[in-house]
Structure 1
Amino acid sequence: MPLLSTADLMGEAQHTQHAVAAFNVITLEHAEGIALGAERTGMPAILQISENAVKYHGSPYAIAAASAAVARNSSARISLHLDHITDPSLAYLAPELSVSSVMYDGAALPYEENVRRTREVVEWGHQRGIWIEAELGEIGGKDGAHAPGVRTDPDEARQFVQATGVAALAVAVGSSHAMTSKTASLDHDLIRRLNSSLEIPLVLHGSSGVSDDELRLAAQEGMVKINIGTSLNLAFTAAARRYLNDNPLGTDPRKYLRASRDAVSEVAAHTLMTLATARCPIPGGPHAVTRQA
């Protein structure tokens, strides 16, 4: 199937009132497993490549090309996204990478500098049809900027969105990156307040640490894009470890990578079905108009 745009998937999600899952890709097996999970469930998915993954590969070109090829050869509806990009020059490669959306991360910058740089990326994206997500204040677990209890302020979020023109905003509501257990306690009242204050989709980062019930409720309260990364890696590594423990003389990487790919597929399918049972409200209330890059 041809690559879809993230803007189209997000627009579809808002129309049907269902959240979209965005899964982090590190290896080819991640991309294949996510696509298989999406095919099994009939749900759309976003394949996202982080700046850290780009650094691991040394360049965005191979992993982006592989992810695009997986998407185009899948029957699932899939888009490509660049995640947590702090270097604008990497964001600006999106069109040639077949990437339709970018999460520009200026959260570590002083507020005014974050606004200025985010607005520049948004203006660039508007000119090229690239959908831009941003973050206001770092999500917990990234350099400690959001310690437990720190939350996004709805008034500041509204000012940031108006000043930058972003198409979506990642907010701090109690989740953290790199959580290995589903123990995050989300601030559901804040999610509802943010949803009623903003006319753009809300994004939940650090969703691997959120239980199914909490995730479903967050989607019902207004989280439209749900990011999943660590839970894929936990499943990937556990499957490889089990195979190698059971087959200590095994040397064929296809054997344990197949197990890892299957494990990723299971997590992706489970997440997609969890979100399929939750209906989320229109951002900003029933009469809101969502801006797209």
Structure 2
Amino acid sequence: MPLVSTGELVTAAMAARRGIAAFHVITLEHAEAIAAGAERAGIPAILQISENAVRFHGGRLGAVTAAAASVARAASVPLSLHLDHVESVELLRAAPGVGFSSVMFDASKLSYADNLKATAEAVRWGHERGIWVEAELGAVGGKDSDPALDAHDPDVRTDPWEAVVFVAETGVDALAVAVGSAHAMTSRTATLDHVLIGALRDAVGVPLVLHGSSRVPDTEIRRAVRSGMVKVNVGTALNWACTNALLRHLATHPDTVDPRKYLVPAREAMAGTVAGFLRAVDAG
């Protein structure tokens, strides 16, 4: 099946009052697991590659992107390719040439004014080339380079009035907001601010994006979608499933040297995780 655009998937989900899940690709096995999980659930999905993943691959964007795109094109359900958490303008400008239909440009570490200015420039550049652009307002936190913060602190939440101005002045296509989740959480205990999600939905008029969804319980995800969340990002949950399956295999087969022996169960564990999140997000 040909790659579809992220904007198309997000727009369709928003119109149907459902969510669309986006999963992080680090290795080929991640991409294969995402496609397999989406096929199992019979639900479209987004494959996203972050700037951190590009750095892991030696700063070379082309190879991992080509692999993910090839897997997506072979799938029987609609899949798109998204470049996530891009802080580098150079990386942003490489996106159209390798097949991405969308980019999340992340200037959220800057002041509000500087975030707005940098994002507006990225959106203008992207739209001239047919790229759908997501940005972030608020402090989701949890990435390796982020300072420690309490995701439940009201001071780090996205302000609806700032969001209205930000969306209007940048022209961004979707907005990642801080509503109680954090990146790299290792327990499914996050409680989201659903009143704030509803207020942001009513205020901004563009699809809302939930980052750090891996440890948000299914019930909270479903409620978030009903409140107005559209794109739901998942990364750590796949890595947790992968690593634990690998460790279980090696614990019972310590003499294994063929990586296929432990990558098969690791890939299968990720596929099951993908299918579970897709069903939760699509149910709304």
Same fold per superposition (TM over 0.5): yes
Aligned to 1:138: 139
Flag as ranges the 4+ runs of structure 1 deviating above 6 A. Answer: none
Compute the displacement of 1:141 (Å). Answer: 1.8
Gaps of at least 5 residues in structure 2 are none
Please give the alpha-carbon distance, in whole angstroms, between the structure 2 residues aligned to 1:103 and 1:254. Answer: 33
- In 1: Cα distance, 2:237 partner to 2:134 partner: 22
Asked if the contact 1:139/1:145 (under 8 Å) is kept, the reply is: no
Q: Which amino acid in 2 is paired with 1:101?
A: S
Give the number of equivalent residue pairs. Answer: 278
**What are the equivalent positions in structure 2 for 1:1-293 lying under 5 Å apart?**
1-58=1-58, 59-142=60-143, 143-144=146-147, 146-148=149-151, 149=153, 150-278=156-284
| TM-score for the superposition, normalised by structure 2 | 0.96
Q: Hey, what's the Cα distance between the residues in 2 that align with 1:33 and 1:138? A: 30
- Which residue is equivalent to 1:291? none
Question: Residue 141 of structure 1 contacts residue 147 of structure 1 at CA under 8 Å; is this kept in 2?
Answer: no
SS in 2 for 1:208: coil
- What per-residue deviation string (whole Å, max 9, x for no partner) do you get for residues 25-82 of structure 1? 0000000000000011110000000000000001111110000000011112100001
Cα distance in 2, alignment partners of residues 114 and 274 from structure 1: 32
Matched residue SS, 2:134: strand
Q: Distance in 2 between matches of 1:141 and 1:15?
A: 31
Cα distance in 2 for residues equivalent to 1:87 and 1:153: 26
Q: Distance in 2 between matches of 1:62 and 1:106?
A: 26
Paired residue secondary structure (1:34): helix
Aligned residue identity for 1:6? T
Matched residues in 1 for 2:103 and 2:150: separation? 25
2:21 aligned counterpart, secondary structure? strand
Contact 1:141 1:178 in 2 (8 A): yes
User: Deviation at 1:145?
Assistant: 6.8
Percent identical: 55
**Gap runs ≥5 in structure 1:** 279-293
Where 2:104 maps in the other structure, the secondary structure is strand
Task: Give per-residue Cα distances to partners, 1:82-135, cap 9 Å, x unaligned.
Answer: 110000110111111111000000011122221111111101111111000000
Quote the Cα distance in structure 1 between the aligned partners of 2:178 and 2:148: 11
Question: Once the 2 structures are TM-superposed, how far is the Cα of residue 15 of structure 1 from its aligned partner?
Answer: 2.2
- In the aligned structure 1, how far is the partner of 2:7 from the partner of 2:136? 17
The 8 Å contact of residues 138 and 159 in structure 2, kept in 1 or not, is answered as no
How many Å separate the matches in 1 of 2:263 and 2:249?
9
- How far apart in 2 are the matches of 1:17 and 1:28? 32
* 1:285 aligned residue: none
Q: Is the 8 A contact 1:22 1:45 kept in 2?
A: yes
Give the aligned residue type for 2:30.
H
Equivalent position SS for 2:214: helix
Letter matched to residue 56 of structure 1: F
**In structure 2, distance between residues paired with 1:9 and 1:237:** 30
Q: CA deviation at 1:137?
A: 2.7
Q: Which amino acid aligns with 1:55?
A: R
C-alpha distance in 2 between matches for 1:39 and 1:207: 21
Q: In structure 1, how many angstroms separate the alpha carbons of the residues matched to 2:257 and 2:214? A: 31
- Read off the aligned partner of 2:92 and give its amino acid letter: A
Report the CA distance between 1:144 and its aligned residue.
Answer: 2.8
CA distance in 1, matches of 2:62, 2:130: 20
CA distance in 2, matches of 1:15, 1:188: 20
* TM-score normalised by L of structure 1: 0.93
